[in-house]
A and B are shown apart, each in its own frame.
Chain A
Amino acid sequence: MKKIIGAVMLVVAAVCSSSAQKTTATYKLGDIVSDFKLKNVDGTMRGLVTDAGREKGYIVIFTCNHCPYAKAYEQRIMDLDKNFRQSGYPVVAINSNDPKEAPEDSFEKMAERAKEKNYTFPYLFDESQAIAKKFGAVRTPQVFLLNRNKQGKLELVYTGAIDNNWEDAAKAHRHYVEEALTDLSENLKPATAETKAIGCTIKWKK
């Protein structure tokens, strides 16, 4: 009986996911990503592209103020922007947490944090959570590396962690985002295109 229920559930799940694909499919590796507009901590509305001629892609990072993992990675996120903005891959940070669930992640607190730490990258508030859903982001911090392909479209080429040691950057021996960017600079697809890490769950609206 359990097997039958299991099989029925599988079929239902398959049907649901195939019908969902038309409207709310999340990006998969190799998919083309559409630009969007969200409120930045400086009060302006912006998305990914500011200078299509110079920007070869974007290091999109779902992060937030409150999560210990996000805090542990904050300096590394700032360093990624400093190190790769010039070569055409700026960081775009997005907070999608519901401030009702995580009060430290309100727009006001985001602005405070960005100012205090002198973020050199936009820190966008995904208030409706639609962008996190579109990207299929589940935790913070989580990276989605986008690369402009030959047709000029933004392609998702890497998703996952920044490196493989959240506690101590010096002890990380795999630097996934940097490795992916090195591969891209050599016109290769990232050899490691997907990684996993522990992170805080995105706090969805109830």
Chain B
Amino acid sequence: MRHLIFSILVLSGIIRAEAQTLDNYTLQQFQNRVLQDNDTLYVVNFWATWCSPCVKELPYFINLSSEMAQQPVKFILMSLDASGDGNKVAAFLNRKKIRLETHLFTEADPNVWINALEPSWQGSIPATFLYHKGAKVSFQEGSFESEKDLKTFIKNHK
């Protein structure tokens, strides 16, 4: 049953990434998605289409996702674009041919949800989290210098 739910979630993620718009994701939905008791390492990047350092590092995530396709690693993009901009984000992803699972994060009160996710997070993006076996195992505020830099960040927790 759990596998079935998992498959549906994964599948819906793929469908979302290719759809015309993105669903809004609450803090609760986000936590349900990444805090799972399985072997998958979740690499979650908070970004936005208008954030140039975020867009610059997206290829690192895309390339590593292909490279690690056979491993239990799941890359997820959490867009912090405006809550009404799901279409815009979807169009951006289509244009750039980005197939990573993407959600639009629209939890309302940042002073609540930023602290809930990571108390040391000052609120600047990009920011990247690693979740494994139902717990947060790593966090970085700010860009990665290179694909290698991101790979090291991931490998250190595998």
B124 and A167 contacting across the interface, CB-CB below 8 Å: no
Complex interface residues of chain A between 146 and 204 (CB less than 8 A to chain B): 160-161, 164-167, 171, 174, 195-202
Q: Return A197 CB to nearest CB of chain B, in Å.
A: 5
A198 and B50 contacting across the interface, CB-CB below 8 Å: no
Q: Using C-beta atoms within 8 Å of the partner chain, give the interface range for chain A.
A: 20 to 34
- Tell me which of A68, A165, A166, A196 has the highest count of chain B C-beta atoms within 10 A of its own C-beta: A196
Q: Return A133 CB to nearest CB of chain B, in Å.
A: 14
CA distance A174 to B110 in the complex (A): 11
Q: Return A51 CB to nearest CB of chain B, in Å.
A: 33
User: Is A80 at the interface (CB under 8 A from chain B)?
Assistant: no
User: Is A32 at the interface (CB under 8 A from chain B)?
Assistant: no
CA distance A164 to B111 in the complex (A): 7
A167 and B82 contacting across the interface, CB-CB below 8 Å: yes
User: Is A38 at the interface (CB under 8 A from chain B)?
Assistant: no
Q: Return B28 CB to nearest CB of chain A, in Å.
A: 18
Residue of chain B at shortest CB distance from A72: B82
CA distance A6 to B3 in the complex (A): 36
Complex interface residues of chain B between 16 and 55 (CB less than 8 A to chain A): 48, 50-53
Q: How many residues in B have their beta carbons less than 8 Å from beta carbons of A?
A: 21
User: Is A139 at the interface (CB under 8 A from chain B)?
Assistant: yes
Q: Return B60 CB to nearest CB of chain A, in Å.
A: 17
> Using an 8 Å CB-CB cutoff, how does the interface string of B79-115 with A read, 1 for contact, 0 for none?
0101100000000000000000000000011110011
Q: Among B83, B111, B115, B125, which residue has its beta carbon within 8 angstroms of that of A161?
A: B111
- In the assembled complex, 16 residue pairs joining A and B whose CB atoms fall closer than 8 Å, in A order, are A68-B82, A102-B52, A138-B123, A160-B111, A161-B110, A164-B108, A164-B109, A165-B108, A165-B109, A196-B110, A196-B114, A196-B123, A197-B123, A198-B123, A201-B142, A202-B124
Given contacts A102-B52, A164-B109, A201-B53, list 12 more A-B pairs with CB under 8 A: A195-B111, A196-B111, A197-B110, A197-B111, A197-B114, A198-B123, A198-B124, A198-B125, A200-B124, A200-B125, A201-B124, A202-B124
B interface residues (Cβ-Cβ under 8 A, vs A)? 48, 50-53, 80, 82-83, 108-111, 114-115, 121-125, 142, 156
